Chain A
């Protein structure tokens, strides 16, 4: 079966790379699934979004990606994110705390961005946000 070569790159380091059978992401235009043979595509990930990488073995790797882009080429898929966290590394309590703090002051664009980040972390961890 054909697979996708997926690279998940955050600014500070390459988080994950490997073969996958499908990538599900939400761009600013809407939800999107990429399977092998997808036509080339460039998309901006929706703020507070979650990216799911279905690995070859059928496991789902859920990632909270913030401020990023999705690029599909004939080589594979690259997910670029300013901050990204794999769901298993996410500290739910901390994310909740961050969300609570950020929501208190909703006028500040910084806080709004922080709230979005926290939301995406919670969503990736399978919690309600």
Chain B
């Protein structure tokens, strides 16, 4: 009896101390979401402007840039998966990885060979454990990605993509380097604090996203006045083709950066939610355990009393016999 009481007390203590860890994690994650959301917002003006510039350019330049044209029978496809570095984030990584598996299956059905590029330690260990080939991994910044990280990734992917331009059935083509024909990205979109959805997008050959949803009223007016007269002819310095060459890789990098930021916000949001329910559970558990401990203590006391009373009774009756 006394042993079980001691065991219960020990469990209460350990539950309480894990609960402290969970609620600390919850607070950290909550603070990080706010920061991550602010960074997502702060990166939007650039994304909007670069899209606008690109749309303007698209109207004037001939669009036969390799990053824009679909390749005939694509064979190898790069898939960039954005996962987190740390666990403790509920189903965050599981969801991204499941979405990735779906995409991989789809690509294989289409007769393409997917190549994995992984961001985040969790994704890395997932594929290593399953002995799957991974082309390249990056980790250490999943919670606070910087633009340099996106540049790093962008450089690798665009290099692979450009190398894939002249590939044929037999091998690497003229440059003898096997590249890829398409770039895909799987990351978690941050819709709200309560909903984060894993999404898969094709980055290249890219479709320039329309600026429609981003347009404000001022633009709408400009747009109206514009539609009546001829489209403005831009001057280009240097030539439109050279500009496109310089701009498109930056555009891809911007898309990767945006995805990393969204993923970071989603990661913190999932972690906050997971830690919230973990600390709630820990509290519940501690409450139940202390009820059991109280009952055990009470039972112990009752037993002691009845032992004393029983002992006294025995003495009294023994004395009465004398």
A positions within 8 Å CB-CB of B? 7, 9-14, 27-30, 32, 39-44, 67, 69, 71, 73-75, 78, 80, 82-83
Which chain A positions have C-beta within 8 A of B235?
39-42
Tell me, rounded to whole Å, the shortest Cβ–Cβ distance linking B128 to chain A: 28
Which chain A positions have C-beta within 8 A of B53?
42, 69, 71, 78, 80
**What are 17 A-B residue pairs whose CB atoms fall within 8 Å in the complex?**
A9-B45, A10-B46, A11-B43, A12-B43, A28-B237, A28-B238, A40-B235, A42-B57, A43-B238, A44-B242, A69-B247, A73-B56, A73-B222, A78-B52, A80-B46, A80-B50, A83-B147
Which chain B positions have C-beta within 8 A of A30?
237
Q: Is B236 engaged at the interface, CB distance under 8 Å to the other chain? A: yes
Which chain A positions have C-beta within 8 A of B129?
none
Q: Is B243 engaged at the interface, CB distance under 8 Å to the other chain? A: yes
Given A75-B222, A82-B250, check contact A40 B234 (CB 8 Å).
yes
> Is B234 in contact with A78, judged by CB distance below 8 angstroms?
no
Tell me, rounded to whole Å, the shortest Cβ–Cβ distance linking A124 to chain B: 20
B positions within 8 Å CB-CB of A? 39, 42-43, 45-46, 49-50, 52-53, 56-57, 147, 151, 218-219, 222, 232-238, 240, 242-243, 246-247, 250, 254, 257
Cα(A78)–Cα(B54), bound, Å: 13
Tell me, rounded to whole Å, the shortest Cβ–Cβ distance linking A5 to chain B: 9
Tell me, rounded to whole Å, the shortest Cβ–Cβ distance linking A71 to chain B: 5
Given A12-B39, A80-B50, check contact A75 B237 (CB 8 Å).
no
Given A39-B235, A44-B242, list of 9 further CB < 8 A pairs?
Answer: A10-B46, A27-B237, A30-B237, A44-B246, A69-B50, A71-B56, A73-B56, A75-B218, A75-B219
> Is B237 in contact with A9, judged by CB distance below 8 angstroms?
no
Given A13-B42, A42-B243, check contact A67 B237 (CB 8 Å).
no
> Is B250 in contact with A42, judged by CB distance below 8 angstroms?
no
Which chain A positions have C-beta within 8 A of B39?
12
| CB contact between B257 and one of A11, A14, A78 (< 8 Å): that residue | A11
> Is A7 in contact with B232, judged by CB distance below 8 angstroms?
no
> Is A7 in contact with B49, judged by CB distance below 8 angstroms?
yes
Which chain B positions have C-beta within 8 A of A28?
237-238
Which chain B positions have C-beta within 8 A of A11?
43, 46, 147, 254, 257
Cα(A129)–Cα(B238), bound, Å: 25
Cα(A9)–Cα(B147), bound, Å: 14
| CB contact between B49 and one of A32, A67, A71, A83 (< 8 Å): that residue | A71
Cα(A102)–Cα(B42), bound, Å: 30
Given A44-B246, A67-B250, check contact A74 B234 (CB 8 Å).
no
Which chain A positions have C-beta within 8 A of B242?
44
Given A7-B45, A12-B43, A12-B147, check contact A29 B232 (CB 8 Å).
no
Tell me, rounded to whole Å, the shortest Cβ–Cβ distance linking A81 to chain B: 9
> Is B237 in contact with A43, judged by CB distance below 8 angstroms?
yes
Cα(A12)–Cα(B39), bound, Å: 7
Cα(A115)–Cα(B79), bound, Å: 33
Cα(A43)–Cα(B52), bound, Å: 14
Cα(A41)–Cα(B236), bound, Å: 6
> Is A9 in contact with B238, judged by CB distance below 8 angstroms?
no
> Is B56 in contact with A42, judged by CB distance below 8 angstroms?
yes
Given A11-B257, A44-B243, A82-B250, check contact A29 B45 (CB 8 Å).
no
| CB contact between A12 and one of B42, B222, B232, B234 (< 8 Å): that residue | B42
Cα(A58)–Cα(B219), bound, Å: 28
